[in-house]
Amino acid sequence: MTDKIDRQEALAHAGIDTLAVRAGQVRSAEGEHSEALYLTSSYVFESAAEAAARFGGDQPGNVYSRYTNPTVRTLEERIAAMEGCERAVATASGMSAILSTCMALLKAGDHIVCSRSVFGTTSVLFTKYMARFGVDTRFVDPTDYDQWRGAFTEKTRLVFVETPSNPLCDVVDLAQLAEITHSRGALLVVDNCFCTPALQKPVLFGADLVIHSATKYIDGQGRCLGGLVAGAAEHIDEVLAFIRSAGPTMSAFNAWVFLKGLETLRLRMDAHSASALTLAHWLQAQPAVEKVFYAGLPDHPGHELARAQQRAFGGVLSFRVKGGREAAWQVIDSTRIVSLTANLGDAKTTIVHPATTTHGRLSDEQKAAAGISDNLIRVAVGLEDVQDIQADLERGLSSL
Ligand SMILES: *Cc1c(COP(=O)(O)O)cnc(C)c1O
């Protein structure tokens, strides 16, 4: 025990790379070096009295893996440390992290203000399902702060944002949004999936809760689904209480995979970012490309803000080709290496046509407002040699 306390104290001032490798680990009596995988649904007690004390909450310890598991707890403590938050809780997927946050912190009659440029399923969850339970959502242009200010009602309790946004890489000023949110007594929730704590720590700018789809960069190799919510104990305890009652729990196996992913997170994020920047500059020079959207480019409107808020610009970019849907499809269908799939945050580069896939459920007006044109292509740059990705895109681009 002394050993554990000493180690946790030493880690209190450690850098993010050290935390990514070591935070939260408690070794079992076997002295294993790599984190142990506890595949168990329940836990045994020494006596009936101990069982009663554990169930009653009078004695700390595990009862059932729907709400506590040592492998999952290691991941939760590690993410909390990396995000600079008091606590974190893991969920079965990124969507269940968002759902659990809403269910724990909102009630009928409450109101959400949300960026218009969020993950498509997040908008569906808010508009179709939260609305059914009496929680309405107002969507705004994420970089128009007057729109944010004007969208609040007496009942606004949550403000929800992603930055950089998907797929156009709009960068939102988190400090300004936190100030607006707090002046109206609401909580700022940031979906930090695109940056991860390796590139951006939203709580440093005033965010109250940080959400992750661990499925993306935290896994990093496209294997497992998972989600996380990090923040102050008072909020995270509420989210955990909902998970205990409703059951969108992260599997211990998935938590173990994510722990392995975190060990290389910053190295991967730096490599994704470096390749995306190279690719963005190369795309800008291609005659068949109309416009490139990537905050790492100096002429992107969010460039300076991204430099101040993020350690690097991330792995996702998008671009418009000259022509319409046919031209975009031709570029996508001419690739032989990159994967045509909507997932991102993988070692493998992925390519997608947002207007007919990830954003296909939006109306034409909504697409126009969000800038999702028919000639737009999104690329989530992986870890392959960047010249091979360029050659793969050039095949289609040079045929236009
Ligand atoms: C993928 C994604 C989600 C949803 O995560 P799942 O793990 O697929 O449920 C939420 N937000 C963002 C930004 C995402 O990219």
Q: Which of 262, 293, 311 is the last residue of a domain?
A: 262
CA of 95 to the centre of ligand 1 (A): 6
Please give the tally of structural domains in the chain. 2
- Domain boundaries, position 299: 266-397
Write the residue with the smallest CA distance to atom 4 of ligand 1: 94
C-alpha span between 347 and 382 (Å, rounded): 5
Write the residue with the smallest CA distance to atom 8 of ligand 1: 94
Return all residues near 63 (Cβ < 8 A) that are at least 6 apart: 42, 43, 54, 55
Instruction: Locate the ligand 1 atom nearest the alpha carbon of residue 345 and give its number.
Output: 15
Whole-number pLDDT of residue 3:
59
Q: Which of 213, 230, 262 is the last residue of a domain?
A: 262
Q: Is 319 helix (H, G, I), strand (E, B) or coil?
A: strand
Indicate if 258 and 273 belong to the same structural domain: no
Instruction: Locate the ligand 1 atom nearest the alpha carbon of residue 97 and give its number.
Output: 9
Helix or strand holding residue 336 (H, E): none
Indicate if 16 and 139 belong to the same structural domain: yes
Question: Going residue by residue through the chain (400 aa), what tens digit of pLDDT does each one get?
Answer: 445 667 778 888 899 999 999 999 999 999 999 999 999 999 999 999 999 999 888 999 999 999 999 999 999 999 999 999 999 999 999 999 999 999 999 999 999 999 998 988 899 999 999 999 999 999 999 999 999 999 999 999 999 999 999 889 999 999 999 999 999 999 999 999 999 999 999 999 999 999 999 999 999 999 999 999 999 999 999 999 999 999 999 999 999 999 999 999 999 999 999 999 999 999 999 999 999 999 999 999 999 999 999 999 999 999 999 999 999 999 999 999 999 998 899 999 999 999 999 888 888 888 888 889 999 999 999 999 999 999 999 999 999 8
Q: Which CATH number covers residue 301? A: 3.90.1150.10
Indicate if 196 and 98 belong to the same structural domain: yes
Return all residues near 300 (Cβ < 8 A) that are at least 6 apart: 169, 171, 293, 294, 306
Residues with CB under 6 A from ligand 1: 93-95, 119, 122, 162, 166, 191, 193, 213, 215-216, 225, 227
Whole-number pLDDT of residue 1:
46
Indicate if 197 and 334 belong to the same structural domain: no
Indicate if 196 and 70 belong to the same structural domain: yes
Q: Which CATH number covers residue 201? A: 3.40.640.10
Indicate if 37 and 137 belong to the same structural domain: yes
Indicate if 224 and 300 belong to the same structural domain: no
Strands (E), the chain: 87-91, 111-115, 136-140, 156-162, 187-191, 209-213, 227-231, 289-293, 316-321, 339-340, 350-352, 376-380
Number of H helices, E strands in the chain: 16, 12
Residue of 215, 218, 359 with the most ligand 1 atoms within 8 Å of its CB, for mutation: 215
On the CB side of 221, CA atoms within 13 Å amount to 11
Indicate if 258 and 271 belong to the same structural domain: no
For 312, the token pair is: 């690097």
CA of 191 to the centre of ligand 1 (A): 9
Write the residue with the smallest CA distance to atom 6 of ligand 1: 94
Indicate if 171 and 287 belong to the same structural domain: no
Indicate if 181 and 234 belong to the same structural domain: yes
Instruction: Locate the ligand 1 atom nearest the alpha carbon of residue 96 and give its number.
Output: 9
Residue of 209, 213, 228, 344 with the most ligand 1 atoms within 8 Å of its CB, for mutation: 213
Q: Which of 236, 262, 288 is the last residue of a domain?
A: 262
**Residues forming a β-bridge with 316:** 380
Indicate if 100 and 203 belong to the same structural domain: yes
C-alpha span between 159 and 59 (Å, rounded): 37
Whole-number pLDDT of residue 342:
86
Instruction: Locate the ligand 1 atom nearest the alpha carbon of residue 344 and give its number.
Output: 15
Indicate if 234 and 283 belong to the same structural domain: no
Please choose, from the candidates 170, 182, 112, the residue with its C-alpha nearest in 3D space to the C-alpha of residue 141. 170
